[in-house]
Amino acid sequence: MTLSDRPELVAALRDAVRQGGTIVLHGDTHQYRGVTPDDFEFWDTERNAPRTDDSPELVRNKLVTGLEECLRNGLYPVAWETPHYTASEIDYQEVARVFSTINERLLTIDRQGTQQFFPYPTVDVRGTQVVPENLGYLPAAKPDPAVLVANARALLVVRDAVASGYVHDFLDPRPFREVVQGVKALGYRYVSVRDFPSRVSIDSHLILTAGATGSLRLEDEYLHEFTLEPDGSRTEVRTSATRRSGAVTPALVPRPGQIAVAEGMAELPPAPPGRLARVQSFVARSWARLQSHSPLPPSPPAALVAALVWDRSATGPDSNDQESFRRTFLAYGVTPRQVARADLVGSALLPSDVLVVPGASARALSEGETAAILQFVRAGGALITDGRSTLGERVGITYTGRTVTAGTVRDTAAPENVLRWRPLAAVEGFRLPDRAVSLASDVGSGTSVSATFPFGSGRVLYLATAFEARAAIRS
């Protein structure tokens, strides 16, 4: 289960941000072998040692997955906290490459129980800014606010002390209030973790707080920027007019209390409808109402005719994908005609056909078969294909070489409808040709997952990932 599977939790987190809260990413799954959140994520408790599969790649993948899930739901972490404050030196080094700020007690060596805490913020040997956690917490068995207040009092023996603790939201909130009141009575003033200069950077995403700097790497993408106010609202939204590549420094500089977000987008975000578009929509609606009151019988729609490129030798996901196309057409009363790849060069296609080329078949096309399809579409035919292929490139799609995940997908025509894909789908980053219209996109990354565009006199419907490869859709 992911964060996207819990819309109520996402709504609660967004509400917390609106009320001044700041997101800190606390691991990806918070578990290794046991139950989340009781288990460790980066530590083997049975051996009291790092996980046997510990590696920079493991940690990097977890950081990417966790961050993408947050971004997908409009949540923007500014700091990191390791589950149970326990990770290896390898892990901390990889975290430092993504997060410039960490809020916890770090291990001094690869041994549980060697966590070190400080009375004030500091910078560790990796260059990571450490906002210390030094008060402890309220245990469920005996939540005594006086203990945390006493710890805060002890920190006052040094100048510029920063007192920081944590609470569990499942406890009675009354002891929390006593802690807040007791700490404030000592002369402390509460600040937000966003008040520290922090940078979060991963691939084509960058998050900055006031005082921090950084860059992101784009690959033929538009630079999309905005700032988040203390109440979570977006301001100063802007998108570059042209695509950019390489290391890019954003133009927005966050002021105190703000969070600046910069990200690469494969396509420009859809613009709000202008006056002409609104007039055209009004005319279309009016004409539809007029036709509904016409005394003349409506013209019968032309019957849909589909030709499905079929591979009889396909197995596994490839077989599921082509079978899912077939069953989807059947569900709408259309029996697709199965066409072998070798027959495409002959007279197998009719001008009225909707030609469906599943990804596996598209990748196996010969040059002659590809040329036959291109000629068919240029002459006015309709093409549907899914996933990366040479055919996709030949109709105008440019692949960026970067893979992203999609899990929360919004329909452009019905933005109130959100689809949740599980498991998350891997999408080959791509750039659409001119005059393309995105039909659906991932909420977090803005990556288009479905689009349509003209090619010659015909039209292409492109699905960025396999239509359904895990199991054939049941009709």
Domain residue spans in the chain?
A: 3-195, 203-265, 301-463
Per-residue burial over 450-475, b if 16 or more Cβ lie within 10 Å, else e, is bbbbbbeebbbbbbbbbbbbeebbee
CATH of domain 301-463: 3.40.50.880
Contact 414, 426 (CB under 8 A): no
Token representation of residue 178: 């006593």
Q: Is 301-463 in the same CATH topology as 3-195?
A: no
**DSSP string for 253-315:** -PPTT-EEEEEEESSPPPPPP-HHHHHHHHHHHHHHHHHHT-SSPPPPPPPPEEEEE--TT--
Pairing of strands 305-309, 353-357: parallel
Kindly give the confidence (pLDDT) of every residue in the chain, 475 residues in length, as a single tens digit, with 9 standing for 90 and above. 788 888 899 999 999 999 999 999 999 999 988 888 789 999 998 899 999 999 999 999 999 989 989 998 899 999 999 999 999 999 999 999 999 999 999 999 998 889 988 999 999 999 999 999 999 999 888 899 999 999 999 999 999 899 999 888 888 889 999 999 999 999 999 999 999 999 999 989 999 999 999 999 998 889 999 999 999 999 999 999 999 999 999 999 999 999 999 999 887 776 655 555 555 566 566 556 655 655 656 666 667 889 999 999 999 999 999 999 999 999 888 999 999 999 999 777 888 899 999 999 999 999 999 999 999 999 999 999 999 999 999 999 998 888 888 888 888 888 777 888 878 888 888 888 888 889 998 887 778 899 999 999 999 999 999 888 676 555 5
CA distance 97 to 102: 12
Question: What is the Cα–Cα distance from 69 to 77, expressed in whole angstroms?
Answer: 11
Record the pTM.
Answer: 0.71
The CATH topology of domain 3-195 is TIM Barrel (3.20.20)
